[in-house]
Structure 1
Amino acid sequence: MSQKARRYSARDRALLIAGLGVVITLNAALIWGPTLASVVLSATDWNGISEIRWLGGENYHDLAAEYPPFWTAVRNNVLWLGFLGLLATPFGLFCAVLLDRRLALSRVYQSALYLPVVLSLAVVGFIAQLVYSADYGVLNAVTGMRTDWLGDSSINIWVVMVAAGWRHVGYVMIIYLAGLKAVDPALKEAAAIDGATETQAFFRVVFPTLRPVNVIVLVITVIEALRAFDIVYAINKGRNGLELLSVLVTENIVGEASRIGFGSAIAVVLLVIALGFIVTYLTQIFREDR
């Protein structure tokens, strides 16, 4: 007996339209509206008060040719992405593999590694100050060193990335742990019967099945590297070696200079980079669905 298609009443349709309408309106007002406004304003000269003056691509030219902090921020964001992608993310995967073996007290270890994730990067920045401060930092007190970890522009970006990576590891670990729990145990058993070692079974059997998870982790890592702001702003407002693109956006839009058009151009650069990875992720998902 065929199942009849459900018919929605007028009340159901009204509730559905109202619910979707609220979501779409909020999304347009809080996300797409400001995004499109930034794209338009990036081609203007405006301080928020005076008359808007159209510049075309002049802001982008000045950004690349006459604004040295931009290239410093680009370098730091690339270093941030490389550190998270090549060190923090693989370490998160390593922790997930260990915890997937059901070690004794694995729940305790899992909670301890995940604990930093519940902290905002601003809080992580304050913790980093307590650890790395030249005057009262724990690291100098324990080692007897007198290094100005946060004040030296040649090393402060590296120690701050370690603090950000501490939080990122727990996030990646949870995602990979969920993926490992979903792997069919029969695959591991078949690999063991064929004589594969645990390492060979992981890289040749288990890891390929984590491909969708790898794509998600890649996108998350890129977004984390691009939107990093709180931690460096909490330490020294993103200056003296800790310049990031997100900090430059804030300084130019709401800072003393109030160059909204110029700051919007930096925001558009961030948007284009992020969209490149997001579009790649969505394309991959659609291909897998087909």
Structure 2
Amino acid sequence: MPPTPGRRAGRRGPRRFTARDTAVLCALLGLPVLLDVAVVWGPTLASIALSFTSWDGIGDIEWVGTDNYADLFTSYPQFWPAVRHNLLWLAFLGLVAAPFGLLLAVLIDRGVRFSRFYQSTLYMPVVLSLAVVGFIAQLVFSRDQGALNAMLGNQGDPTDWLGDPDLNIWMVLLAAGWRHTGYVMILYLAGLKAVDATLKEAAAIDGANERQTFFRVVLPTLRPVNVVVGVITVIEALRAFDIVYAVNQGRNGLELLSVLVTDNIVGEAARIGFGSAVAVVLLTVSLGFVVTYLVQEIRGEKSR
């Protein structure tokens, strides 16, 4: 009996890729990989290699070993203040801005009036770059013509919010947190919309109040969102550059590691090797935070 079309189809082996299929796959996968290597990993590896050299960008490259790192940790006065400011930045975004974004998401998720207006208003700063946020901070916190001093009515003896090194870091953190809060709010709001309503109903039937339902039922289901928020917070805190450079070029109390990289690599006295060492330290700290956080989250996910 001749085989039916169904039987003939079942005997077919795996479909072989033609030369055209291979070319398309190489174009779709190979080009992004090459672009990633050229734009991200190439400069990263080059910075690691240059961090062990002394080079001004024009003359010969001289191998100096770990001298750049020794000078960075022992005799570069701006380094440790920059590290402290970056850690303060991370703590503020992670412990103040991110929880506040979660709180706003919970309040909006409850269906308050004008929720669409609140979402749009609170998310609006996210579409602004940190450089623009820095210019807005100058308009608000400027000593002579700032809106804050005008509201407080102290034009006779105005407070120098951005010039005082004991105050300016906190003012800039408020501006950066204003932007970060809206981003976190949208992420958590999307996660809250995806929570199964039957879980809340079951918790209510068991006698749990709203606070217990949120912390014991809703928040554990937001673990994937927590991972995203945690990684974004670390990245935003450690790569901060635009806003402090727009305020006072990252000086007088606003030193950050990213600013030190720029000052040494593209400054008047270019020290590409030394600036690369600062960049490697920033890369190591960033990877340390991100990898540790992801490993803990993955282990917690497997233990569930």
Aligned position for 1:276: 288
Give the SS at the match of 1:68. coil
Please, what is the CA RMSD of the aligned residues? Answer: 1.7
Gaps of 5+ in 1: none
1:273, CA displacement in angstroms?
Answer: 1.1
- Whole-Å separation in 2 of the counterparts to 1:286 and 1:195: 31
2:212 is aligned with 1:200: yes
One of 170, 173, 183 as aligned partner of 1:158: 170
Give the SS at the match of 1:85. helix
CA deviations on 1:115-151 (whole Å, 9 max, x unpaired) are: 0000000000000000000011000011112100000
1:188 and 1:205 in contact (8 A); partners too: yes
2:185 is aligned with 1:176: no
Q: Find runs of 4+ consecutive structure 1 residues off by over 6 angstroms.
A: 1-4
Which amino acid is 1:64 matched to? F
Which amino acid is 1:233 matched to? Y
2:252 is aligned with 1:240: yes
What's the TM-score once normalised by structure 1's chain length?
Answer: 0.96
2:84 is aligned with 1:72: no
2:98 and 2:184 in contact (8 A); partners too: yes
Which amino acid is 1:53 matched to? E
- Whole-Å separation in 1 of the counterparts to 2:99 and 2:255: 26
1:229, CA displacement in angstroms?
Answer: 0.2
Give the SS at the match of 1:25. helix
Spell out the pairing of 1:186-225 with structure 2 (5 A cutoff): 186-225=198-237
1:289, CA displacement in angstroms?
Answer: 7.8
1:252 and 1:262 in contact (8 A); partners too: yes
Aligned position for 1:118: 127
CA deviations on 1:243-277 (whole Å, 9 max, x unpaired) are: 00000000000001200000000000111111123
Aligned position for 1:50: 59
- Whole-Å separation in 1 of the counterparts to 2:220 and 2:34: 40
Larger Rg: 2
1:8/1:281 Cα in 2 relative to 1: closer, same or farther (>3 Å)?
farther
- Whole-Å separation in 2 of the counterparts to 1:54 and 1:68: 24
CA deviations on 1:27-76 (whole Å, 9 max, x unpaired) are: 11100000000000001111101111111111111101000100010111
Which amino acid is 2:132 matched to? V
Gaps of 5+ in 2: 1-5
1:286, CA displacement in angstroms?
Answer: 5.9
What's the TM-score once normalised by structure 2's chain length?
Answer: 0.91
Work out the percentage of aligned pairs sharing the same amino acid.
69
One of 128, 132, 138 as aligned partner of 1:129: 138
2:227 and 2:294 in contact (8 A); partners too: no
Give the SS at the match of 2:160. coil
Deviates more, 1:98-107 or 1:110-119: 98-107
Which amino acid is 1:57 matched to? T
1:216 and 1:281 in contact (8 A); partners too: no
- Whole-Å separation in 1 of the counterparts to 2:302 and 2:216: 23
1:225, CA displacement in angstroms?
Answer: 0.4
**Number of positions where the alignment pairs a residue of Structure 1 with one of Structure 2:** 290
